Amino acid sequence: MSILIQNGRIITASDDYIADILIEEDIIVAIADGMEGDADHKIDASGKIIFPGGIDPHVHLDMPFMGTYSSDSHETGTLAALHGGTTMVIDFILQTQGKSLHHALEQWQGRSDGNCYGDYSFHMAVTDFNADTRKEIVQLIENEGITTFKTFMAYKGALMIDDGQMVDLMAEVEDKGGMVTVHATNGDMIDHLIAKHRSGGKLSPLYHYLSQPEITESEASGRFVDMARYTDVPAYIVHLTCEGALDQVRNATKRNQKVFVETCIQYLLLDAGLYEQEDGAKWVMSPPLRQPKDQETLWAGINQGLIQVVATDHCPFNWDQKLMGKDDFSKIPNGHPAIEHRMELLWSEGVEKGRISANKFVEVTSTNPAKIFGMHPRKGCIAVGSDADLVIFDPNRQHTLSAESHHMRVDYSAYEGWEVTGKVETVILRGEIAIDNGEVQINKGYGQFIKRDKLSKMV
């Protein structure tokens, strides 16, 4: 099948121009002015913007966590992502401590294979690094195209590794062509504060926030970049939220280190005041929402090039799951739903409000994730030879976000009633129209597992 998209305003991480795009089968074969010809399908994109399909490199689909499972499956989560202009996600596999990495891989493949609408990959979370799991690193990179290894400096007893494991893992992963990523918060201090608040009868969602003060994140971020310096590896911090943590990265760059930083849409737009609401559990996530001064730092950090990626950390739980912690904040499953709204929210609150440029929008939602995680130029750009993963976007259309209209499998919206300017209209994934004016056009299973390339220090 061939598709000719005519007269769209093409925005990439570096360019902004009007042209036509010709797609044959699953790739872009030509970009030029005034193309004619007999394509199977023609789309008039006059007045519309075309950008590369979004890549969300931080999602948790159907993930066992805190005594329950995140409520979006690979089917519902990747479909909701497509509705919002995200054509590919990277999901997290969690190793069970005491078991192998391949054991976890098989569990995740059992839930994802044949079930995705959008393209997907995995990061492997290493929760138990030992002589056996060390041997698996090279196999995952070489055979499976899984090149990134997530670590947790928190969630002790379930996911956390110690600093000795961290430096050994960093060295092993770097040697084999991958990269370590981190949830950087000080687990011991957080556990101590949680216990203190609980014993004092302080059990509301506000105490989730007060158990993870900024220092717990800045300390761990600093320790992590110091370990990366010691092992001489590039490294990636997931879901960075605050000024103190970004300052640690700023200092590391002064020492010429390569540290990639991801923040998430919620940390740019929402603040900790929400924890004082009766329904504060909706925003219980780790790290927690921060203060307006941190939002300012994050927007500036994007423009300064210190933050390269805006993801979601999509980890939805229905309200009855959140109620597991109605009498104790520490039992509220951590996470919030956003996979569908990242692109439209960032456009509306970022580009439309003049906080970031349209090129920066593409960079942080698509091009940088593709480059950092070994998929560029197949993904993350609009270029001849690249996968035809495209979003046709109406920048003028206004709409309201609501649980009544979203496609995520979760019964509330963290952005209920938000007015958004700009709407995803058509989504093309590898040359197929996947979403057309809110209607899905592909079948479950169309989404492919994308094997990623080994990573380069040069990105």
Name the site residues for ligand URP (rule: CB under 6 A): 60, 183, 285-286, 313, 315, 334-335
Residue nearest ligand URP, CB atom distance: 334
Cβ at position 349, least distance to Zn ion in Å: 21
Q: Which residues contact 254 (CB under 8 A, 6 or more apart)?
A: none
Within 10 Å of residue 12's Cβ, how many Cβ atoms?
20
Nearer to ligand URP, 136 or 262 (CB): 262
The DSSP annotation for 24-80 comes to ETTEEEEEESS--S--SEEEE-TT-EEEEPEEEEEE--S-EETTEE-S--HHHHHHH
Nearer to Zn ion, 212 or 297 (CB): 212
- Bridge partners (DSSP) listed for residue 8: 19
What, of ligand URP, Zn ion, none, does residue 280 touch, CB below 5 to 8 Å by kind? none
Cβ at position 115, least distance to Zn ion in Å: 20
Nearer to Zn ion, 184 or 362 (CB): 184
Cβ at position 44, least distance to ligand URP in Å: 41
Q: Backbone phi, then psi, for 353, in 5-degree steps?
A: -90, 5
Cβ at position 74, least distance to Zn ion in Å: 16
Nearer to ligand URP, 184 or 228 (CB): 184
What, of ligand URP, Zn ion, none, does residue 83 touch, CB below 5 to 8 Å by kind? none
Cβ at position 154, least distance to Zn ion in Å: 8
Nearer to ligand URP, 20 or 91 (CB): 91
What, of Zn ion, ligand URP, none, does residue 197 touch, CB below 5 to 8 Å by kind? none
In the complex, the residues that contact Zn ion under the rule CB under 5 A are 183, 313
- 377 upstream amide cis, omega within 30 of 0: yes
- Residue of 118, 235, 223, 109 lying closest to 169 (CA atoms): 235
What is the token pair recorded at 63?
């993930």
With b meaning 16 or more CB within 10 Å and e meaning fewer, what string describes 289-316? bbeeebbebbbebbeeebbbbbbbbbbb
What, of ligand URP, Zn ion, none, does residue 334 touch, CB below 5 to 8 Å by kind? ligand URP
What, of Zn ion, ligand URP, none, does residue 340 touch, CB below 5 to 8 Å by kind? none
Cβ at position 13, least distance to ligand URP in Å: 26
Cβ at position 366, least distance to Zn ion in Å: 19
What, of ligand URP, Zn ion, none, does residue 153 touch, CB below 5 to 8 Å by kind? none
**What is the distance between the alpha carbons of residues 69 and 64, in angstroms, rounded to a whole number?**
4
Find out whether 395 and 347 touch, Cβ atoms under 8 Å. yes
What, of Zn ion, ligand URP, none, does residue 392 touch, CB below 5 to 8 Å by kind? none
Report the DSSP pairing between strands 86-94 and 54-59.
parallel
Nearer to ligand URP, 5 or 55 (CB): 55
Residue 128 burial by CB count (10 A; 0-12/13-18/19+): exposed, middle or buried? middle
Nearer to ligand URP, 74 or 183 (CB): 183
